[in-house]
Amino acid sequence: MERRRLGRTDIVASVLGFGGSEIGYQRVAARTVARLLGSALDAGLNVIDTAECYEESEVLIGRAIGSRRREFCLFTKCGHARGWARPDWRPASLLESIERSLRRLETDYLDLIQLHSCSLAELRQGDVIAALERARERGWARYIGYSGDGEAARYAVECGRFDTLQTSVSIADQEALELTLPLARTRQMGVIAKRPLANVAWRYARKPAESYHQTYWARLRTLDYSFLREVPDAAVATALRFTLGVPGVHTAIAGTTKPERWQQNAALLQAGSLPGGEFELIRARWREVADASWVGQV
Ligand SMILES: NC(=O)c1ccc[n+]([C@@H]2O[C@H](COP(=O)([O-])OP(=O)(O)OC[C@H]3O[C@@H](n4cnc5c(N)ncnc54)[C@H](OP(=O)(O)O)[C@@H]3O)[C@@H](O)[C@H]2O)c1
């Protein structure tokens, strides 16, 4: 598994990381998570991303691989300790949330703590960033980052106070390629691609019931990339190689509920980078059909 240095941090990340939202929201059994993460670590995974509000995701990760803590880099987020619908950006609440994450993840330090998609106004006001800096000073997190999209992500890059940016990058979400990634690259920020497979939303023949998948499903119908008609593994391979071929991206945190998935997706990357021509075709098709409403999806 290829590894890339995460910007100017000392983290050398496997290009395929693990996104921890589905194991939480889909209430995957602890035994399954232990198999999933244990086998992925054995196979070369070293980046695990989760959040304070992905239900029991942090607890599941802590139980599954807390005893192997030195073998991976652990990223989590703060801002919604009482659930996504109840954000709380007060500095004291953020620090409490980070302490809770440390307990739930069964660790005494995080490699990265990220603001979980707060608004541009919160970022500009600045207390939320100062809270993360305090957590870093206290040794609770080695690095600090912003996770989100659009103008807030742009500000997070411009302000110069974050080590990393986690943002949506995929065949169905390309706003960041112009809005944030070139500057993030110049500033040597670590870049974590979230939703890197566009949720594999093309797998649904009809509009998916899950609202989280609907925007990408609709965009992909309009984009109508011919490679999406190939066998499933070939389509996933092209999608993932596109995301990892975007200049400035260091790691792609793909979410999954299935123990065999990480190795399956890792094998798809053995083909190496996407040929330049194929990458440019995907970019050209996006430029042709994407309208102003096709912004980065949080
Ligand atoms: N605001 C934020 O900070 C924010 C927002 C969104 C996401 N994130 C982070 O980004 C991570 C990834 O995002 P995501 O999980 O929404 O999107 P994603 O990685 O693009 O898609 C995950 C979905 O793809 C499926 N999948 C993966 N590999 C597959 C394959 N080879 N064939 C068929 N299906 C496959 C998974 O299903 P199976 O279970 O069947 O594998 C899962 O439903 C999250 O877990 C989270 O850590 C952060």
- Give the pLDDT confidence of 175-196 residue by residue, as tens digits: 999 999 999 999 999 999 999 9
Q: CA-to-CA distance for 179 and 120, rounded, in angstroms?
A: 15
Which pLDDT value is given to residue 70? Answer: 97
Label residue 146 by pLDDT band (50, 70, 90): very high
Label residue 139 by pLDDT band (50, 70, 90): very high
Which pLDDT value is given to residue 105? Answer: 98
CB 22 near ligand 1, within 6 Å: yes
Mean residue pLDDT of the chain comes to 98
pLDDT tens digits, residue range 78-112?
999 999 999 999 999 999 999 999 999 999 999 99
138 CA distance to ligand 1 middle (Å): 32
Label residue 198 by pLDDT band (50, 70, 90): very high
CB 116 near ligand 1, within 6 Å: yes
Best of 119, 261, 295, 298 for a ligand 1 pocket test (most atoms within 8 Å of beta carbon) = 261
Which pLDDT value is given to residue 228? Answer: 97
Are the C-beta atoms of residues 3 and 13 closer than 8 Å to each other? Answer: yes
Label residue 160 by pLDDT band (50, 70, 90): very high
CB 265 near ligand 1, within 6 Å: yes
154: β partners? none
Segment 159-163 mean pLDDT: 98
Are the C-beta atoms of residues 146 and 153 closer than 8 Å to each other? Answer: yes
Amino acid at 165: L
Label residue 204 by pLDDT band (50, 70, 90): very high
195 CA distance to ligand 1 middle (Å): 5
CB 21 near ligand 1, within 6 Å: yes
Which pLDDT value is given to residue 57? Answer: 98
Tell me how long the chain is.
298
Are the C-beta atoms of residues 282 and 288 closer than 8 Å to each other? Answer: no
